[in-house]
A and B are shown apart, each in its own frame.
Chain A
Amino acid sequence: MATEALGWWGVPLGIAAGTLRGSAPFLFVSLGECLTEKSGKINLGLEGTLLMGAMSAYAISYVTQSPWLGVLVAGLAGIVLGSIHAFLSLQPKVNDIAVGIAMIIFGSGVAFFFGKPFIQPVAPQLPALEFGAWSSQPQVQSALEICPLFLIGVAIAPLMQWFFQSTRWGLLIRAVGDSPDAARAMGISIFKIRLLCIITGSFLAGVGGSYLSLFYPGTWTERISGGQGLMAVALVIFARWQPMQCLYASLLFGGAQAIGPALQSVGVTSYYYLFNASPYILTLAIMIVTCSPKRTLRGAPGTLGSSH
């Protein structure tokens, strides 16, 4: 029988499938935020950008029947929001955290306003690559249906790592983030570098939003992000500002979303609130283990959080 129950094997399979399905938004937002923070600015507004990306991708995909065009427009929407954030937060004595919070409200408000007519229609979705054809198990086949967008995200992580470590541009960004005075002495425009970093970061977050509405869960509702944008911003700290570690952390959080449902489906019915909270508990635990009162966080860009 093809649809045979998997029993306990369903738990690791469910979590693995959840990882492959659900971690892309975390990945794109955290990579975008990593780039932004490396240059010394924080963009909390990526939650709003994520929603705006999800909405515009769904709307464009519905109107033009082309999901990839939707992805592109989601990125452009991210660029627009990113420009606003960059312009405001790069003014002297403006606090980037406060601007970020305003951008969350602004981005989600605009997305809800323009998203109203798109809640009901069904938009064409991004295609999935079938990596599970070798298996006779329909569960495995379904778990290995992977969206190309996720693979693009996975490829960006090592590229960004290499970019920061081995290229002149990466060095410039790190210099701007760590020691703006030194960078200025080198004759670099701090404003331009940060502007570019924030805008590119927002572009990535917008693309992450398109994954939410065009692949998984694959619909537009006002609750689609469920705070994933904010969690991804926190992931960057968790990942110590390393793109490769952003990838691992995103996979971890993506998989953790599946723990609660997967356990309940095999009959572990108690404590589901606790299992649902497992990603947060995990983050707290790792933060506590790795933090020290004697030094600042390793890897943090020098001017992060200051209004330099």
Chain B
Amino acid sequence: MNPGRSLYLPRRRVMRGVLATAAFGVTSRLWTGCTPTSESQASSSTASGKLLQIGFIYVGPKDDYGYNQAHHEGEVGVAKLSWVKTEEQASVPETTDVEEAMRNMIEQDGAKVLFPTSFGYFEHILTIAPKYPDVQFFHCGGLYQEGKHPKNVGSYFGYIDEAQYLAGIVAGHTSKTGKLGFVAAKPIPQVIRNINSFTLGARSVKPEITTQVIFTGDWSLPVKEAEAANSMADQGIDVITCHVDSPKIVMETAEKRGIFCSGYHADQAKLAPKGYLTGAEWDWTTVYTNYAEMIHSGKTLMNGGIPHIVRGGLKAGYVKLSPYGPAVSATAKKDADIAKAKFKDNSLVIYQGEIKDNTGKVVIPVGKAYKQQDRTLEQMNWLVAGVVGNA
């Protein structure tokens, strides 16, 4: 029609393009709201004279009363060191998004140490790690294999089932009906180990006690979790604990139904002021501070100064117990404290024969004991006698 026709763009197409670009920009900001948090005022120059930049990545919100909040509390703890500067990013899915988050932290913020905390981040760490050989990646949950995986990748985890054992002792003492409940996400070894340790702890004080397990099927299903807690209360269960991403709903439902609850991941006492007994918590501050100090003194994964696999329980301070709630009796406190002391001097082994599973089969024969470090325990696929459920 006119000479400029070849340059003509339909208005609609232009609008569409502009909108799409804007929408993409807006949403990608939404998914990954980057929040550099604590900037310690480190005027005192350190050995290297530079701040150690550490990045943390979480799969969910950092104040979910659960797994991510526990890691966030660890981040706040390590940020207190004057020569550490931290940044964190929450709600990063276990997809290539996390690779992008890691790359940003390394290239734009100059992070030298990364803690991508979710279990499913591992394969993405393996993709990124070889490209940044001077950056150290520490992954929570641990699948590191010597020789197979890059040298700048390490793994850390805590034996939280020791704390669950203590929580089991408290629950066993508190329960009047002799029935405990466990709301679990999926029957994987980590979860099963918690169920078994909780039950063994309870049965160490009352051998006839049972633990009812309900598997909801996924890490975060609020309605199913509430249903599970409600139907347990209907069945006369009077202490509930759980292993899901955010225990908030289980604790609140238990409190509403007037029964006791025992926390997991972080301290949930505020959610259930009357019924909260105690809880198995992570203490990542210790872990992250240890790592930071090792790196500060010049040790790295690459030069062999930092072990690739780091594990610890109550003794190492990787896990802890929530402060006892008002409903916990003096006897329960005493027994739990005794067991805690035994964990600390290594004289208590949870998985010591003879242990039968809930079908009556002997899984650990008399005289055999699996210490916490034993790899066999990380493949646990049986529920101990006293657990009502099916793994």
Chain A residues with CB under 8 Å of chain B are 3-7, 10, 13-14, 17-18, 21-22, 102, 105, 109-110, 112-113, 116, 119-120, 122, 138-139, 142-143, 216-219, 221-224, 226, 228, 257-258, 260-262, 264-267, 269-270, 272-273, 276
Contact = CB atoms under 8 A, between A and B. Distances in A.
Nearest to B177: A3
Interface in B18-69: 23, 26-27, 30-31, 33, 60-61, 63-65
B231 A217 contact: no
Contact of B227 (A218, A222, A261): A261
Given A113-B33, A267-B388, A272 B236 contact: no
Contact of A217 (B179, B181, B223): B223
- State which size class the interface on B falls in: 35 or more
Contact of B235 (A10, A17, A18): A10
A158 to B, nearest CB: 26
Given A222-B61, A261-B227, A13 B234 contact: yes
A138 B227 CA distance: 16
Interface in B191-234: 212-217, 220-228, 230-234
B91 interface: yes
Contact of B215 (A6, A224, A264): A264
A109 B177 contact: no
Contacts of B30: 109-110, 112-113
Contacts of B88: none
B246 interface: yes
A265 B217 contact: no
B257 interface: yes
Contacts of A6: 234-236
B26 to A, nearest CB: 8
Contacts of B270: 122
B223 A265 contact: no
B232 to A, nearest CB: 5
A270 B227 contact: no
B229 to A, nearest CB: 8
B179 to A, nearest CB: 7
B128 interface: no
A273 B389 contact: no
Interface in B252-289: 252-253, 256-258, 270-271
B222 A4 contact: no
Given A14-B230, A270-B390, A221 B213 contact: no
23 contacts: A6-B235, A6-B236, A10-B234, A14-B230, A14-B234, A109-B30, A112-B91, A138-B258, A216-B223, A217-B222, A219-B252, A221-B220, A221-B249, A223-B221, A224-B222, A260-B227, A261-B228, A262-B227, A262-B231, A265-B235, A267-B212, A269-B213, A269-B389
Interface string B59-92: 0110111000000000000000000000000010
Contact of A258 (B212, B231, B233, B248): B231
B161 interface: no
B238 interface: yes
Contact of B60 (A7, A222, A262, A265): A222
A241 B330 CA distance: 61
Given A10-B231, A119-B63, A265 B212 contact: yes
A21 to B, nearest CB: 8
A269 B214 CA distance: 8
B222 A142 contact: no
A272 B249 contact: no
Contacts of B390: 269-270, 272
Contact of B236 (A3, A122, A258, A276): A3
Contacts of B33: 113, 116
B63 A226 contact: no
Contacts of B179: 5
A27 to B, nearest CB: 14
A217 B249 contact: yes
A116 to B, nearest CB: 6
Given A264-B215, A269-B213, A217 B235 contact: no
B27 A109 contact: yes
Nearest to B221: A226
A258 B246 CA distance: 20
B221 to A, nearest CB: 6
B235 A5 contact: yes
Nearest to B236: A5
Contacts of B235: 5-7, 10, 265-266
Contacts of B23: 102
Contact of A116 (B61, B225, B234, B258): B61
B222 to A, nearest CB: 4
A25 B304 CA distance: 56
A42 B224 CA distance: 29
A142 B238 contact: no
Nearest to B27: A109
Contacts of A261: 214, 216, 224, 227-228, 230-231
Contacts of A14: 227, 230-231, 234
Given A5-B179, A21-B230, 15 more contacts: A5-B177, A5-B236, A7-B235, A10-B234, A14-B230, A17-B234, A105-B27, A109-B27, A122-B270, A142-B257, A226-B223, A262-B231, A264-B212, A272-B215, A272-B390
Sorted nearest first, the 5 A-B pairs with minimum C-beta distance are: A269-B390, A5-B236, A217-B226, A265-B231, A120-B63
